[in-house]
Chain A
Amino acid sequence: MASGTRIDFSAYDDEAKVFTVVQYIEILNTFLKREVVRITGEVSELKRAASGHVYFTIKDKDAPGVIDCIIWSRNYQLCGVALEVGMEVILSGHPNIYAPSGRLSFVADTVELVGEGALKKAYDDLRKKLEAEGLFAEERKRALPDYVSRIGVVTSMKGAVIHDFMNNLGRFGFRVRGIDSRVEGQQSVKPLLAAVRAMRAETREGGAAAEDAIEALVVIRGGGSLESLQGFNNETLVREIVDFPVPVIAGIGHDQDVPLMALAADYMTSTPTAAAHLLNRSWEAARMKLEQAARIHVRVGNELARVKADLALARGALIDHMTDGIARLRERLAHADQVVRLNDPARQLKLGYAIARKRGKVLRSAEALVHGDAVDVQLADGTVRTRVDRSPLL
């Protein structure tokens, strides 16, 4: 039976069925593949093939026992651990029988260092290397645009972290695209990488439509030890973050050593809540400005209303003053006219009084006249010439 041919497992229960060696080994491998375990031991032999695959042996520290191991080239590059003889490691993977030799090997998917000391050394060495390359430099960091509304989130969707983040994200119409990922230990490397790479496809550079493309990536998890955060110290993941097309916010809690992925991100916060607040910032500033503008608008409106009322009052007062003034002037002129008429000497003449003049001068006293004087008497309708007769009155 050729490798890859579908196996009929129903035949396995048939005691009469006879399998070939290869068929049987394939059946065994199918069962063995399900036995994903983690084993620990000390690397005792090591060989790196031209293909990049690594063949090594680990031995039990406490008892005689060895097992051959293989880690495929792609997984070895991903794991971020440079295997050395004498190194104590934890391997995650499954057993496998190599049909041509019939030998059992352990196929490792991931490799972890054992012990805080080893982890710390690996962390320090990698940090130094990446720092020297300038991956953590401030000049590299990109500013978060204002009013980001479409964000991608990578985290475990099962924990409290995502709830904290979403609850603290303001009501500004954010559209959140989330991808679930393991975030614990070395086993989180592949899922994190896959999630970040999937998010790349959600950016404009990755081919998403402009109106749907995410404007920022947020990677969050709660606090943890160096061992717990191993996935976030993976070199391949760090480089993926450095090359990510839009700004990246890392909201990863940590004990002492800052996760390398956070150092590479454009923004680093210590908690997922702080990451949410960072996204809210420009929106909150805009809201405050709008509220301020609204207050100014109300104040200006009130002031305008007050001025309008004042103008109306002034208008009314003006009209009243003018109307009164004109009426008073009219009365004053009427009064003046009446006084002038009353004092008009011509009026006295109409009443029967006369004005007597001698040689053109108004006479005020009879003493000024002598017999025979010519006196002009002005009456209402004309003047007559008279002569003074001083003869005694009869």
Chain B
Amino acid sequence: MATKPKKEKEQGKERTAAAAPGAFTRHLEEIAAILEWFDSQEELDIEKALEKVKQASTLIKESRTRLGELENEFEEIKAGIEGDQ
């Protein structure tokens, strides 16, 4: 059985994660929480900051991918509604 290339596999994993019910909303909430953490730091804890940056980058990337999927779905629905007029 052929295996998927690693990147596609990882991308597939990312899609699956963001596509789970409620995941997109949770991702946005987590991103907001990270930004709030940065705002609240008088003295930045470098190690924590690095960790949070990494976390946030992953969340942002997944969310953008999911947003793209949602937008495509919406375009299809919109085409269907406008076609009924």
Contact = CB atoms under 8 A, between A and B. Distances in A.
Interface of A: 312, 315, 318-319, 322, 326, 329-330, 332-333, 336-337, 339-340, 343-346, 355, 362
A340 B67 contact: no
A37 B81 CA distance: 95
Given A322-B74, A336-B31, A336-B60, A343 B38 contact: yes
A337 B67 CA distance: 15
Where chain B touches its partner, the secondary structure class is: helix
A362 B46 CA distance: 8
Contact of B60 (A322, A333, A345, A346): A333
A319 B46 contact: no
B71 to A, nearest CB: 5
B1 interface: no
Contacts of A343: 38, 44, 49, 53
A326 B72 CA distance: 11
A345 B46 contact: yes
- Which of B34, B70, B81, B85 is most buried by chain A, counting CB atoms within 10 A of its CB? B81
Interface of B: 28, 31-32, 34-35, 38, 44, 46-47, 49-50, 53, 56-57, 60, 63-64, 67, 70-71, 74, 78, 81-82, 85
Given A319-B78, A346-B53, A340 B60 contact: yes
A343 B35 CA distance: 9
A175 B71 CA distance: 72
B38 A339 contact: yes
B35 A336 contact: yes
Contacts of A339: 35, 38
Nearest to A335: B35
Nearest to A342: B38
Contact of B81 (A315, A330, A332): A315
A319 B81 contact: yes
A329 B65 CA distance: 12
B35 A333 contact: no
B67 A330 contact: yes
Contacts of A344: 49-50, 53
Contacts of B81: 315, 318-319
A340 B63 contact: no
Contacts of B35: 336, 339-340
